[in-house]
Amino acid sequence: MNSPDLLLLSRAQFGLNIGFHILFPTLTIALAWILVYFRVRFAWSGDAAWLATYKLWVKIFALSFAMGVVSGITMSFQFGTNWPGFMKHVGNIAGPLLAFEVLTAFFLEATFLGVMLFGMNRVPPWVHIAATVLVAVGTLVSSFWILALSSWMHTPAGQVMANGALIAGDWLQVIFNPSFPYRFTHMLLASGLTASFVVAGLSAWRLLHAPADASASRTLRTGIVIAAVLAPLQIFVGDLHGLNTLEHQPAKIAAIEALWNTERAAPLVLFALPNAETRHNDFAIEVPGLASLILTHDLDGEVKGIEAFAPSAPGAEQLAPPVAPLFFGFRLMLALGMAMLALAWIGAWVLRKGAAAPRWLLWSLAGFTFSGWVATLAGWLVTEIGRQPWLVTGILKTSQAVGRISEAQLGASLTGYVFVYALMLGAYIVVITHLAGKGAAHTQGGAA
């Protein structure tokens, strides 16, 4: 029996690693396609300003891509050190999915990334454009396989038991499991919003210091337009994803909504302090019946509460996640999403006739530069903590997969990770802010 402290430290360490790692793919998946747009605009128009824009943002992409690769390596180590039971129990499914990512996406990116970064003056323009497109395709393929595995862990399908081992009975069902289409689409839109606000925010930072920079004005508009289009789509897809979660992981929805008991006409809890000991929401602000209307499309619809999955009776099996982190994490994600939608639409309206961006808008966009990261991390925490106590829903509990590394070793390595990642993230933000602050005109001699 593993101690609760060992389990908590193992989860904290892996959560820190994957939380740090996810920042960079969330940016690069969509930024790669924005680079395709910049590159094609230069090829089509011959305007040197588009070339300078491409060379600036390809540097930011390259740094972000490298950070993602480096941080991803440490996660693979932890499958063996922290979670050996994961591969032992479900390795016949997880292993091939991870291998598919390497064999398809990684080799695609590795083959063409060098051409994209260093080949502009060495290969024909169409080859360079093709390389940029293929790198962007590689980021999509990579996210496809990773999210297929992640979704399968939430809503497993297609697996069978054979000679005491869990294997894939139908790979199509494994890959296209019930939550995959929603999770994949939701993540791609999150990447688009993250990248668009980084582009708009860093461009706004440049314009605050150099209002006449035409290239920064172009990228500012590009980011705002992308965000204005994607933000409402993300809210719509998020609602569909929530309904899918209600069907397949109702305990997660109960925790998100802080509903302790199964009831009809369930209220939507706007704010509260969930109390796990008393199973009650302190200082609750509620809208009667709205949770039932949103989740069941019926004001009198029944919504299951935490009690249905984690009875309060002594000795009862607890199969519900903790309420507080899901309740607050979801509301943080939702609040940021609505704020990003409002800012994008306001920005699009202000700039609709080619007007110069006012300083209040530039400061607002600069302040929201990394809002997509915060929203994505909040949503990711809701998703992953909401699966507890399962590592693979209904198949493998988290406590069954944890390794036997000592708590002292975990504590020391976790401290080291926090220190190193804080330095890396701080340095990364300083570098990309410095690059953006100099402007695209200073990148004409870049590597591409």
What are the pLDDT digits (tens) for 63-121? 999 999 888 888 878 877 888 888 888 888 988 998 888 888 888 888 888 888 888 88
Per the domain annotation, does 278 fall within a domain?
no
Per the domain annotation, does 229 fall within a domain?
yes
Integer Cα distance of 221 and 206 in angstroms: 13
**What's the half-sphere exposure (Cβ side, CA atoms, 13 Å) at 342?**
8
pTM of the model: 0.91
Integer Cα distance of 400 and 18 in angstroms: 20
Q: In the predicted model, is pLDDT for residue 363 greater than 90?
A: yes
Per the domain annotation, does 201 fall within a domain?
yes
Q: Where are the alpha helices (DSSP H) in 155-249?
A: 171-175, 180-209, 214-248
- Which structural domain range is residue 204 located in? 28-255+323-443
Q: For 289-343, how does the pLDDT look when each residue is reduced to its tens digit (9 = 90+)? A: 899 998 888 888 888 989 888 887 666 677 889 999 999 999 999 999 999 999 9
Q: Please give the pLDDT value at position 33.
A: 95
State what percent of residues in the chain have pLDDT above 70.
Answer: 96
Q: Which of 169, 299, 198, 221 is nearest to 41 (CA)?
A: 221
Q: For 210-252, how does the pLDDT look when each residue is reduced to its tens digit (9 = 90+)? A: 888 888 889 999 999 999 999 999 999 999 999 999 999 999 9
Measured from the Cβ of residue 204, the count of other Cβ atoms closer than 10 Å reads: 29
Mean pLDDT of the chain: 89
> Any residues with CB less than 8 A from the CB of 4 and at least 6 apart, and which?
none
Helix 48-81 and helix 407-438: axis angle, to 10°?
180
Cα 254 to Cα 305, 387, 433, distances in angstroms: 5, 12, 41
With contact defined as beta carbons under 8 Å apart, do 439 and 53 qualify?
no
Per the domain annotation, does 302 fall within a domain?
no
Integer Cα distance of 132 and 448 in angstroms: 11
Per the domain annotation, does 430 fall within a domain?
yes
Per the domain annotation, does 402 fall within a domain?
yes
Q: 172 is written with which tokens?
A: 């199509």
Integer Cα distance of 43 and 282 in angstroms: 60
Q: Quickly count helices (H) and strands (E) in the chain.
A: 15, 8
> Any residues with CB less than 8 A from the CB of 351 and at least 6 apart, and which?
220, 221, 224, 357
Q: Please give the pLDDT value at position 327.
A: 94
Per the domain annotation, does 314 fall within a domain?
no
Q: How many domains does the chain have?
A: 1
Per the domain annotation, does 193 fall within a domain?
yes
